[in-house]
């Protein structure tokens, strides 16, 4: 008998750990303390994963497999994956443990010790749900002075023939990102998001999470997410039919009270395995070919999956474990309390944090250009920011969260992932959102108590880090402008930043 362990983010019936499984094998799934609490994951994230796991186990049982499922509140639950595997080995004639490579370096390193600790063969298989292996990415990266997603993405398009003709990319260019940055219109009408009703399994998990995780971040209800394969496919179809047509134009836009905008809301289903990347790509590509979605939207959506998602995973496995420790700017300020409470007078941050608390979700521009941008220019300790992002979002796992936060949002890797820091002043947020009209600070005021803090913090960040950034070719214009500033202007930026940091240091409601 083989013991086939399926992790909470591996809810795919075709996954490698289930390949060749017989009905005599024991399929094991566990809700364990170690994985639920190594950071205090959002309550809604735990509900989603535990309920999705339970539904997946039910589907395997209906298919005739022998499934052993350990609930969180099982009195015999040891609290760890290794402990549960060891407990079952003691009860069953297990000849081998089979598991698919986990999405976190720390867990893979732990699994490498299991064979000697448990005195049984442990086979860790490649996660074949991705479209590029870590070995393929390492081969692609070898010898390159810079690792840029755009070139990797082009190779992936060629490899899989996505949006391609014999002559090259459809439309004559690889990337339509320049067409995907429209600000929201004043009368923008956003379609309603896909929602599902909770069944009894999900209701049971809600009760469990309320009882066992009362001090974790976030709201449980309302709970709109699908928790099954069928539900995830419905969510994908809903996006393609209702939102993909305008996703490209407005994927960077932000509107108060519209947390979902035109985004797909399928990242949590992709990252836990209820959807697979190629089926999402093919569904969007078909919409383009049948005329229901424009090329800029289709290409932008596909680039997120075939390009960015695969790229950050490749970078993660290429650079771990050192990658987690990188801190290019030596940033060391603690994460402000308002990242947990939303109690700030900066409306853009308040909106994004409150929506994160409510939904375990924020779209990529909210994560990058509001929440991440602030953490970058304020010099927040990367490890604290990494932990925050990992625990607050339902789609966050270490392999995808760490490169996006450390590399893209914080530039803590010094440019391994991004070609420049994604720092911006209040004018960017004002252009791409309606947040500023309801804020006590003005994006057009540059200094003083009425100024948007993003304005003077942006220039203070550039001044603090000029020695490290001046040589960046994409920042030449920025430093030419800074060099033309008067001494008085430089001092004003520094003085405003010092005042601001002092206020958040004593938990003033800035």
CA atoms within 13 A on the CB side of 442: 8
pLDDT of residue 7: 98
352-404: per-residue pLDDT in tens?
A: 999 999 999 999 999 999 999 999 999 999 999 999 999 999 999 999 999 99
The verdict on 396 and 356 lying in the same domain is yes
The verdict on 45 and 158 lying in the same domain is no
Q: What sign does the dihedral 414-420-422-424 (CA atoms) show?
A: positive
The verdict on 149 and 113 lying in the same domain is no
* CA-wise closest residue to 501 among 326, 330, 381, 378: 378
In a domain, 211, yes or no: no
**Could you tell me the pLDDT band of residue 508, with boundaries at 50, 70 and 90?**
low
Other CB atoms within a 10 A radius of the CB of residue 85 amount to 24
pLDDT of residue 181: 83
The token duo for 462 is: 């550039």
The verdict on 173 and 90 lying in the same domain is no
The verdict on 408 and 482 lying in the same domain is yes
In a domain, 474, yes or no: yes
* CA-wise closest residue to 363 among 257, 263, 436: 263
* CA-wise closest residue to 267 among 437, 396, 154, 357: 396
In a domain, 234, yes or no: no
Q: Which long-range contacts (CB under 8 A, 24 or more apart) does 59-67 make?
A: 59/13, 59/228, 59/229, 60/13, 60/27, 63/13, 64/23, 65/21, 65/23, 65/25, 65/27, 66/23, 66/24, 66/25, 66/26, 66/27, 67/27, 67/28, 67/29
The verdict on 483 and 348 lying in the same domain is yes
* CA-wise closest residue to 98 among 173, 25, 195, 201: 25
Instruction: Read off the CATH number of the domain in which 153 is found.
Output: 1.25.40.80
In a domain, 329, yes or no: no
pLDDT of residue 507: 67
DSSP calls for 19-54: TT--TTSEEEEE--HHHHHTTT--HHHHHHHHHHHH
In a domain, 209, yes or no: no
The token duo for 327 is: 């801190």
Domain-terminating residue out of 91, 108, 125: 125
The token duo for 66 is: 């022998």
Average pLDDT of the chain is 96
pLDDT of residue 63 exceeding 70, the answer is yes
The verdict on 284 and 152 lying in the same domain is yes
SS3 3: strand
Domain-terminating residue out of 254, 284, 319: 319
The verdict on 499 and 351 lying in the same domain is yes
pLDDT of residue 36 exceeding 70, the answer is yes
The verdict on 375 and 350 lying in the same domain is yes
**Could you tell me the pLDDT band of residue 138, with boundaries at 50, 70 and 90?**
very high
Do the Cβ atoms of 301 and 122 come closer than 8 Å?
no
pLDDT of residue 177: 87
Q: What is the total count of domains within the chain?
A: 3
| CA pair distance 372, 204, nearest whole angstrom | 35
253-266: per-residue pLDDT in tens?
A: 999 999 999 999 99
Do the Cβ atoms of 398 and 404 come closer than 8 Å?
no
pLDDT of residue 510: 79
Instruction: Read off the CATH number of the domain in which 114 is found.
Output: 3.40.50.620
* CA-wise closest residue to 50 among 235, 402, 42: 42
The verdict on 351 and 476 lying in the same domain is yes
176-214: per-residue pLDDT in tens?
A: 988 888 898 888 889 999 999 999 999 999 999 999 999
In a domain, 463, yes or no: yes
The verdict on 492 and 349 lying in the same domain is yes
Tell me the longest C-alpha to C-alpha distance in the chain.
77
What's the mean pLDDT in 410-417? 96
CA atoms within 13 A on the CB side of 48: 35
In a domain, 473, yes or no: yes
What's the mean pLDDT in 458-486? 96
pLDDT of residue 179: 82
**Could you tell me the pLDDT band of residue 413, with boundaries at 50, 70 and 90?**
very high
In a domain, 232, yes or no: no
Domain-terminating residue out of 276, 291, 319: 319
| CA pair distance 71, 79, nearest whole angstrom | 10
pLDDT of residue 505: 76
312-335: per-residue pLDDT in tens?
A: 999 999 999 999 999 999 999 999
- What one-character DSSP code corresponds to residue 91? T
pLDDT of residue 124 exceeding 90, the answer is yes
The token duo for 12 is: 């795919």
The verdict on 156 and 34 lying in the same domain is no
pLDDT of residue 268: 97
Domain that holds residue 264: 134-191+243-319
pLDDT of residue 185: 82
Instruction: Read off the CATH number of the domain in which 347 is found.
Output: 1.10.579.10
- What one-character DSSP code corresponds to residue 474? G
């Amino acid at each position: 008998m083989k013991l086939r362990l399926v992790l909470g983010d591996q809810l795919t019936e075709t996954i490698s750990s289930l390949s060749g499984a017989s009905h005599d094998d024991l399929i094991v799934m566990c809700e364990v303390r170690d994985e639920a609490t190594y950071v205090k994951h959002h309550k809604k994230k735990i509900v989603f994963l535990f309920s999705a796991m339970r539904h997946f186990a039910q589907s395997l049982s209906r298919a005739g497999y022998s499934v052993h499922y350990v609930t969180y509140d099982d009195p015999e639950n040891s609290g760890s994956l290794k402990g549960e595997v060891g407990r079952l080995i003691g009860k069953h004639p297990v000849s081998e443990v089979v598991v698919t490579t986990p999405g976190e370096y720390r867990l893979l390193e732990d699994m490498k010790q299991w064979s000697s600790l448990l005195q049984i063969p442990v086979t860790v298989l490649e996660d074949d749900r991705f479209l590029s292996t870590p070995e393929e990415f390492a081969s692609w990266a070898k010898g390159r002075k810079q690792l840029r997603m755009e070139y990797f993405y082009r190779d992936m398009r060629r490899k899989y023939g996505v949006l391609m003709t014999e002559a090259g990319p459809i439309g004559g260019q690889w990337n339509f990102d320049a067409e995907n940055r429209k600000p929201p219109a004043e009368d923008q009408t956003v379609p309603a998001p896909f929602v599902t009703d909770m069944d009894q399994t999900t209701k049971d998990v809600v009760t469990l999470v309320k009882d066992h995780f009362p001090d974790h971040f976030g709201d449980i209800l309302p709970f709109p997410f699908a928790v099954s394969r069928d539900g995830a496919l419905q969510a994908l179809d809903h996006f393609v039919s209702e939102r993909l047509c305008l996703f490209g134009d407005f994927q960077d836009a932000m509107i108060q009270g519209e947390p979902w905008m035109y985004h797909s809301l399928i990242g949590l289903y992709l990252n836990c395995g209820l959807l697979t990347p190629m089926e999402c790509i093919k569904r969007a590509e078909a919409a383009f070919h049948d005329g229901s979605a424009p090329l800029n939207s289709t290409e932008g959506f596909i680039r997120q999956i075939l390009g960015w998602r695969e790229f950050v995973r490749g970078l993660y496995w290429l650079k771990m474990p050192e990658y987690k420790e990188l801190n290019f700017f030596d940033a060391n300020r603690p994460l402000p309390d308002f990242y947990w409470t939303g109690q700030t007078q900066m409306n853009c941050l308040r909106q994004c944090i409150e929506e994160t608390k409510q939904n375990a979700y924020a779209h990529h521009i909210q994560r990058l250009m509001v929440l991440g941008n602030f953490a970058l220019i304020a010099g927040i300790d990367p490890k604290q920011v990494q932990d925050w992002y990992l625990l607050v979002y339902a789609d966050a796992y270490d392999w995808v969260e760490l490169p996006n936060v450390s590399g893209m949002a914080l530039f803590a890797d010094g440019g391994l992932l991004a070609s420049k820091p994604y720092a911006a002043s209040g004018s960017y947020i004002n252009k791409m959102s309606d947040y500023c009209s309801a804020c006590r600070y003005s994006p057009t005021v540059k200094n003083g108590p009425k100024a948007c803090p993003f304005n003077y913090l942006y220039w203070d960040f550039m001044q603090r880090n000029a020695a490290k950034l001046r040589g960046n070719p994409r920042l030449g214009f920025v430093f030419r402008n800074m060099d033309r500033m008067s001494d008085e202007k430089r001092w004003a930026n520094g003085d405003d930043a010092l005042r601001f940091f002092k206020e958040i240091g004593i938990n003033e409601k800035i």
